Amino acid sequence: MATPILLPTGMLMPPSADPGCLMVACEHDPVGTGRQIELTAVALRDAGWRVLVACVSAGGSLASRLVEAGIEVSRLSHRPQPDASALPRLLGLIRRERPAVVLGWGRETLPAVAATRLLASAGGLQRWRHLHLLSQPPRGRVEIAAARAADGLLVTADSIAGACGALGLASRTTVVPPAAASFSERGERSQLAVRLGLDPAKPWMLCVAPLVAPSRLERLLWGIDQMGVVRQDVEYVIVGRGRLRRRLQRRARVEEVDGWLHWFEQLPCLPELVPHVQVLFQPGSVAYGGCLPEGLAHGIPAVVTDSAEYRELLGDDEAGRLVPTVPESEFARRAIELLENKQAADACREAARKRVASIFEPTKSLAAVVAAIQS
């Protein structure tokens, strides 16, 4: 459940007596995108909005956590990916609830919200503001067209704002850094080890990513193989679902690293697990790096493939290590450094603390999101 975060007094009140905000999102794990959705929904409710979250896919724990936090949820699909089958239900929900704002979340919901708006307009439904929050730039003609149709874009980094500006959307784009909020849940390491089949005496490394091509998890497997030459005492937890699962597991067996890996399609106990992890891994392009904001909040160093979005989260080798795609051995070398060099790991933790205080402080980040929605 989201830890209560008090927004500043004097926060703008919603523009009407019964303001409604419909958030449209896919199901997610309780970290990264899922965590940001949860925090934002609670912040909007606490600011006086009537909040409803429409889940247009299935397969995570976001909906149940929102319900526990007192947020109304409407599950519109039982499929793992959003598709056109959810559009009639989404349109019906909008017709019934008549929200002032529809806040779409992530690239994957851009087409659905834009298409629903076209259907609503054709059906004479009252106009509502379409805002969309993006932690990655829109890609492909469909996503770009949907982004251009939105009334406003909330983006999590300057680099994403630059990409949207290149599409002619600068005047409708607002930068709102993510909230790096720590988890209140606490689990005993020994109990988590029993539940997940881990060795409590060994270091744990974590990667949260969908098992799809852009996640580039083959880099992760290769890095684990290289690490095994030096360190055979590390447990690797990979959380994600996707069509590449069997192929990746087969490759892990071929490379003889499967004995160190623990695969989970979803893991509701991630809030308890994250504080016990020694290093985070992210080899590909994943929203919020999987769980980088939570890593910052808990002072966990990360090893990630260098990109503008990850650089804006971690800084220039400050709260973690940004590695090039070539040579691939650099991934393993940097991870071993953070496991074995306490001074380097402590420096990352201190840098994370400073970055949270100056850029990703939860109260300020959530206040910025609420203000952008209310403007």
Weakest-pLDDT range from 78-82, 99-103, 104-108, 188-192:
78-82
Collapsing DSSP to helix, strand or coil, 61 comes out as: coil
Other CB atoms within 10 A of residue 4 CB: 10
* 189-358 shares the fold of 20-179+360-374: yes
Q: How confident is the model at residue 6 (pLDDT cuts 50, 70, 90)?
A: low
Residue 141: which residues within 8 A CB-CB, separation 6 or more?
none
Mean of per-residue pLDDT scores for the chain:
93
pLDDT above 90: percentage of residues in the chain: 83
Does the pLDDT value for residue 7 go beyond 70?
Answer: no
Per-domain residue ranges for the chain? 20-179+360-374, 189-358
Specify whether the CB–CB gap between 301 and 279 falls below 8 A. Answer: yes
pLDDT, tens digit, for every residue of 183-214? 988 889 999 999 999 999 999 999 999 999 99
DSSP 287: G
User: Is the N-terminal amide bond of 138 cis, ω within 30° of 0?
Assistant: no
The amino acid at 327? P
CATH number of 189-358: 3.40.50.2000
Specify whether the CB–CB gap between 274 and 298 falls below 8 A. Answer: yes
Which CATH fold would you assign to the domain 20-179+360-374? Rossmann fold (3.40.50)
Q: Report the pLDDT value the prediction gives residue 131, as an integer from 0 to 100.
A: 98
Weakest-pLDDT range from 158-162, 206-210, 240-244:
240-244
